[in-house]
Structure 1
């Protein structure tokens, strides 16, 4: 295997992956959905990262998600089936399965996405899994949880800003378990899937080995900032009242923010580790998160 085509190469995952796969010839494929377009794939493998990310500001049209995440994936996958490429990796998301998790999310969890983003990704997954694979081709659908790494703020930014300003963490009364995914571990998994012909085609969750509570995350941020962690266990009933006020007036702590900061979202990575015959991923969640936080500080 020599040449790999990557869609979405200029994004956060793409730029990190390009560095990680430096021993390969990497070619960017710039694509957007156009009805009936033909896409040429002249490579040994294709990694499809391009798509419309979840819109936190809620200004996107629903159709944008279906065109970018479902229709475009169909076109690229059909082109892969006709090409000489032997490996297709599609970057889906755990949100294609569930927005809230009771217990631990595995590949056997029955998908029930609630957002247009998650539904479109799930439709793309179903299309890919529903096509007959020619002999010699391998297809991997990856479902990463929240990806972290240098330069990618995402949902960590709110927490970082709070600790950096020296404000006490008010939600210490909430005990939760969350899975994260360091960009280094994701790149490691993708490289191994490309190179290991013995891994069967299918759907694989991607997550770091450890789960962390948001309280532990606040401690990690405090350590990286060399500050003493300040936490207050404000009673949940009071937090609930503040959240309702925050829903009415513009305030950082509203119902949605509190849910994101305190919810459980535990993801099992057992299937992909078993398939690759590895016991542990190269980096711990804490290592990856510390690197992410330090990149905020250096900026």
Structure 2
């Protein structure tokens, strides 16, 4: 039996759908409420919120592998009075309580979906992060994911439960939200964007590619005890990404060539420096370790991933 937490989320629901499609091993979804929708044929069990005092015993019965997608996710404008403590309460304390109960229940493998934010926020161009770099998180979300990883490694050494950590960068796919969805909507509406002269490099990962690696990590013997980075294996600039998005949507990308330095300066004046850094700065990941140890290749190219993400976007924007 495979248990998936966060089964109604963007990544967790896709993991459930893939496992149901494979149909090899029975699958169970741990959800917050009885009304949560999951794919047919999957056992559903209500556990409530991810917290330090959550009782996972019923959900863990008969489970050999666990994919932990549930988390308090990163948001651009966090309204919490103390964001780090809120992230720690869910992502660290809740995760480690689950892992301790999983180890006690005899779960063999624990796959933890972490974040590239554990490595940091930016890279020098053509100097990507690697899975074995020293962690250097900047924001509260990244710190909480790093602390959860450290706690899981400690538990692994004490219990013998195999821990596999996956750190994705930006994940996109059909149903994606936040800034990626906003960019697709701007393109669909033909809005000119001042992003035609950005020469950075950004790694990202199609949802299907991330799910394929997660499923591989559940099953592959060489995954045990490892940390993996994941991407599509292509690192487009922001300008190139928007151009490819436009082609995937059948809409021309109307890009104005404004220098990155001017964009960053203007955004700083408007209090949006962090947004400009994400659009203009580089964040690359090296997936050579993932390819080598797991004999893994991203099933979808960047263009194929963008085409899947684009389905429905133009229609929904025009309705």
Question: Structure 2-normalised TM-score?
Answer: 0.84
Q: Do structure 1's residue 166 and structure 2's residue 177 form an aligned pair?
A: no
Spell out the pairing of 1:6-25 with structure 2 (5 A cutoff). Answer: 6-22=4-20, 23=23, 24-25=25-26
Asked if the contact 1:220/1:290 (under 8 Å) is kept, the reply is no
Aligned to 1:250: none
Query: Structure 2: how far apart are the matches of 1:266 and 1:173?
Result: 19
Q: Do structure 1's residue 259 and structure 2's residue 277 form an aligned pair?
A: yes
Structure 1 stretches lacking a partner, 5+ long? 248-253
SS at match of 2:221: coil
Pick aligned residue for 1:270 from 278, 288, 293: 288
SS at match of 1:21: helix
SS at match of 2:216: helix
Query: Structure 2: how far apart are the matches of 1:69 and 1:125?
Result: 10
1:110 Cα offset (Å): 1.2
Aligned to 1:90: 112
1:96 Cα offset (Å): 1.6
1:32 Cα offset (Å): 2.6
Q: How many residues align structurally?
A: 289
Asked if the contact 1:81/1:133 (under 8 Å) is kept, the reply is no
SS at match of 2:278: helix
More divergent stretch after superposition (26-35 vs 285-294): 26-35
Query: Structure 2: how far apart are the matches of 1:51 and 1:178?
Result: 24
Question: Structure 1-normalised TM-score?
Answer: 0.90
Aligned to 1:251: none
Residues 33-84 of structure 1 show CA distances to partners (whole Å, capped at 9, x for unaligned) of: 5445543122111111111000222213422101110001110111121112
Query: Structure 1: how far apart are the matches of 2:122 and 2:264?
Result: 19
Asked if the contact 1:208/1:269 (under 8 Å) is kept, the reply is no
Aligned to 1:55: 75
Structure 2 stretches lacking a partner, 5+ long? 31-46
* C-alpha distance 282-236 of structure 1, shift in aligned 2 (>3 A): closer
Asked if the contact 1:97/1:109 (under 8 Å) is kept, the reply is yes
Pick aligned residue for 2:87 from 65, 70, 89: 65
Spell out the pairing of 1:1-299 with structure 2 (5 A cutoff). Answer: 3-22=1-20, 23=23, 24-29=25-30, 30-40=47-57, 41-42=60-61, 43-60=63-80, 61-62=82-83, 63-102=85-124, 103-131=127-155, 132=157, 134-135=159-160, 137-247=161-271, 254-278=272-296, 280-299=297-316
RMSD over equivalenced CA pairs, Å: 1.9
Asked if the contact 2:16/2:29 (under 8 Å) is kept, the reply is no
1:235 Cα offset (Å): 3.5
* C-alpha distance 171-66 of structure 1, shift in aligned 2 (>3 A): same
Query: Structure 1: how far apart are the matches of 2:220 and 2:265?
Result: 52
1:157 Cα offset (Å): 2.2
Query: Structure 2: how far apart are the matches of 1:154 and 1:240?
Result: 20
Residues 161-193 of structure 1 show CA distances to partners (whole Å, capped at 9, x for unaligned) of: 322222223122220111111111111111112
1:228 Cα offset (Å): 2.8
After TM superposition, the runs of 4+ consecutive aligned structure 1 residues lying more than 6 A away are none
1:275 Cα offset (Å): 1.3
Query: Structure 2: how far apart are the matches of 1:15 and 1:232?
Result: 37
More divergent stretch after superposition (222-231 vs 201-210): 222-231
